[in-house]
Amino acid sequence: MKTQRLKSSVLAGLAALTLTCATWWKNSSLKDVAKPHLGEYECKQATLGEEDYLDKFSYIKLELKSDETFALSFCEKEGEKRTLKGRYQYDEKREILTLSMGSAGEKIGFKRQFPFKDGEICITLPMGSENLKIVFGRK
Protein backbone atom coordinates (compact mmCIF):
# COMPACT_ATOMS: atom_id res chain seq x y z
CA MET A 1 0.00 0.00 0.00
CA LYS A 2 2.79 2.46 0.91
CA THR A 3 4.67 1.48 -2.23
CA GLN A 4 1.57 2.19 -4.31
CA ARG A 5 1.15 5.65 -2.73
CA LEU A 6 4.83 6.41 -3.27
CA LYS A 7 4.57 5.41 -6.94
CA SER A 8 1.42 7.52 -7.34
CA SER A 9 3.11 10.54 -5.72
CA VAL A 10 6.18 10.18 -7.92
CA LEU A 11 4.02 9.84 -11.05
CA ALA A 12 1.95 12.88 -10.05
CA GLY A 13 5.13 14.89 -9.48
CA LEU A 14 6.54 13.82 -12.86
CA ALA A 15 3.25 14.69 -14.55
CA ALA A 16 3.27 18.16 -13.00
CA LEU A 17 6.91 18.68 -14.01
CA THR A 18 6.19 17.50 -17.55
CA LEU A 19 3.21 19.85 -17.81
CA THR A 20 5.31 22.77 -16.55
CA CYS A 21 8.11 22.00 -19.02
CA ALA A 22 5.67 21.52 -21.89
CA THR A 23 4.06 24.90 -21.17
CA TRP A 24 7.46 26.60 -21.02
CA TRP A 25 8.60 24.86 -24.23
CA LYS A 26 5.37 25.82 -26.02
CA ASN A 27 5.93 29.50 -25.16
CA SER A 28 9.61 29.38 -26.21
CA SER A 29 11.20 28.86 -29.56
CA LEU A 30 14.18 26.63 -30.20
CA LYS A 31 16.16 29.81 -30.86
CA ASP A 32 15.44 30.98 -27.30
CA VAL A 33 16.68 27.72 -25.87
CA ALA A 34 19.75 27.23 -28.04
CA LYS A 35 20.98 30.79 -28.64
CA PRO A 36 18.88 33.35 -26.80
CA HIS A 37 20.86 36.29 -28.20
CA LEU A 38 19.60 35.73 -31.76
CA GLY A 39 16.97 38.04 -33.17
CA GLU A 40 16.14 41.66 -33.79
CA TYR A 41 16.85 44.51 -31.41
CA GLU A 42 15.56 48.06 -31.61
CA CYS A 43 17.29 51.20 -30.48
CA LYS A 44 16.05 52.41 -27.11
CA GLN A 45 18.57 55.23 -26.65
CA ALA A 46 20.93 57.12 -28.96
CA THR A 47 22.98 60.04 -27.65
CA LEU A 48 26.01 61.94 -28.82
CA GLY A 49 27.47 63.55 -25.74
CA GLU A 50 24.44 65.05 -24.01
CA GLU A 51 22.37 65.42 -27.21
CA ASP A 52 19.54 62.96 -27.88
CA TYR A 53 19.86 61.56 -31.41
CA LEU A 54 17.03 59.03 -31.35
CA ASP A 55 14.42 61.53 -32.56
CA LYS A 56 16.49 62.18 -35.72
CA PHE A 57 15.84 58.61 -36.94
CA SER A 58 12.72 56.80 -38.06
CA TYR A 59 14.32 53.59 -36.78
CA ILE A 60 17.61 51.97 -35.82
CA LYS A 61 17.63 48.16 -35.69
CA LEU A 62 20.26 45.51 -35.06
CA GLU A 63 19.69 41.92 -36.11
CA LEU A 64 21.90 39.07 -34.89
CA LYS A 65 21.57 36.12 -37.26
CA SER A 66 22.26 32.43 -36.66
CA ASP A 67 25.18 32.38 -39.13
CA GLU A 68 27.05 34.84 -36.84
CA THR A 69 26.42 37.82 -39.10
CA PHE A 70 24.67 41.03 -38.13
CA ALA A 71 22.77 43.73 -39.95
CA LEU A 72 22.53 47.26 -38.57
CA SER A 73 19.67 49.06 -40.35
CA PHE A 74 18.69 52.67 -39.89
CA CYS A 75 16.77 55.44 -41.56
CA GLU A 76 17.16 59.13 -40.81
CA LYS A 77 13.84 60.96 -40.81
CA GLU A 78 15.00 63.13 -43.70
CA GLY A 79 17.19 60.50 -45.40
CA GLU A 80 17.33 57.14 -47.03
CA LYS A 81 17.50 53.67 -45.52
CA ARG A 82 20.96 52.21 -44.92
CA THR A 83 22.20 48.84 -43.76
CA LEU A 84 25.65 47.96 -42.49
CA LYS A 85 26.64 44.30 -42.32
CA GLY A 86 29.35 42.41 -40.57
CA ARG A 87 30.17 39.48 -38.33
CA TYR A 88 29.71 39.01 -34.63
CA GLN A 89 30.79 36.72 -31.81
CA TYR A 90 28.90 36.35 -28.55
CA ASP A 91 30.69 35.32 -25.37
CA GLU A 92 27.90 34.15 -23.10
CA LYS A 93 30.13 33.71 -20.04
CA ARG A 94 31.58 37.23 -20.20
CA GLU A 95 28.36 38.75 -21.63
CA ILE A 96 30.33 40.42 -24.41
CA LEU A 97 29.27 40.96 -28.03
CA THR A 98 32.10 41.51 -30.53
CA LEU A 99 31.11 43.23 -33.76
CA SER A 100 33.45 43.36 -36.74
CA MET A 101 33.19 44.87 -40.21
CA GLY A 102 35.65 44.86 -43.09
CA SER A 103 38.26 42.26 -43.97
CA ALA A 104 41.99 41.96 -43.43
CA GLY A 105 42.71 43.36 -46.91
CA GLU A 106 40.56 46.46 -46.47
CA LYS A 107 41.99 49.70 -45.12
CA ILE A 108 38.82 50.48 -43.20
CA GLY A 109 38.02 47.90 -40.57
CA PHE A 110 36.13 47.78 -37.33
CA LYS A 111 36.24 45.31 -34.45
CA ARG A 112 34.94 46.27 -31.03
CA GLN A 113 33.54 44.58 -27.95
CA PHE A 114 30.39 45.76 -26.22
CA PRO A 115 28.53 44.67 -23.08
CA PHE A 116 25.45 42.52 -23.64
CA LYS A 117 23.64 42.20 -20.35
CA ASP A 118 20.03 41.44 -19.45
CA GLY A 119 19.00 41.44 -23.12
CA GLU A 120 20.48 44.87 -23.82
CA ILE A 121 23.44 45.77 -26.01
CA CYS A 122 25.22 49.00 -25.14
CA ILE A 123 27.41 50.36 -27.95
CA THR A 124 29.69 53.25 -26.99
CA LEU A 125 32.08 54.76 -29.53
CA PRO A 126 34.19 57.92 -29.52
CA MET A 127 33.05 60.44 -32.12
CA GLY A 128 35.40 63.41 -32.10
CA SER A 129 35.41 64.84 -28.60
CA GLU A 130 32.05 63.22 -27.68
CA ASN A 131 30.88 59.66 -27.09
CA LEU A 132 28.16 58.09 -29.21
CA LYS A 133 26.04 55.79 -27.05
CA ILE A 134 23.43 53.48 -28.56
CA VAL A 135 21.41 51.06 -26.44
CA PHE A 136 19.52 48.22 -28.12
CA GLY A 137 16.85 46.09 -26.52
CA ARG A 138 14.66 43.22 -27.66
CA LYS A 139 12.01 44.19 -30.14
**Residue ranges making up the domain that contains 6:** 2-31
The average pLDDT across 1-18 equals 43
Q: Do 12 and 45 fall into the same domain? A: no
The total number of structural domains that make up the chain: 2
Question: Could you tell me how many residues make up the chain?
Answer: 139
Q: What is the spatial distance between Cα 74 and Cα 68, in angstroms, rounded to a whole number?
A: 20
Over residues 17-35, mean pLDDT: 45
- Predicted structure pTM score: 0.70
Query: Same domain, yes or no, for 40 and 18?
Result: no
Residues 16 and 68 placed together within one structural domain of the fold: no
Q: What is the rounded distance in angstroms from the CA atom of residue 103 to the CA atom of residue 107?
A: 8
Q: Coil, helix or strand for 17?
A: helix
Rounded mean pLDDT, 14-19: 40
77-86 CB burial, b ≥16 within 10 A, e <16: eeeeeeeeeb
Handedness of CA 90, 96, 97, 102 (dihedral sign): negative
pLDDT higher than 80, residue 94: yes
Same domain assignment for residues 69 and 10: no
Q: Where are the alpha helices (DSSP H) in the chain?
A: 2-26, 30-34
Q: Are residues 100 and 113 in the same domain?
A: yes
Are residues 132 and 83 both part of a single domain? yes
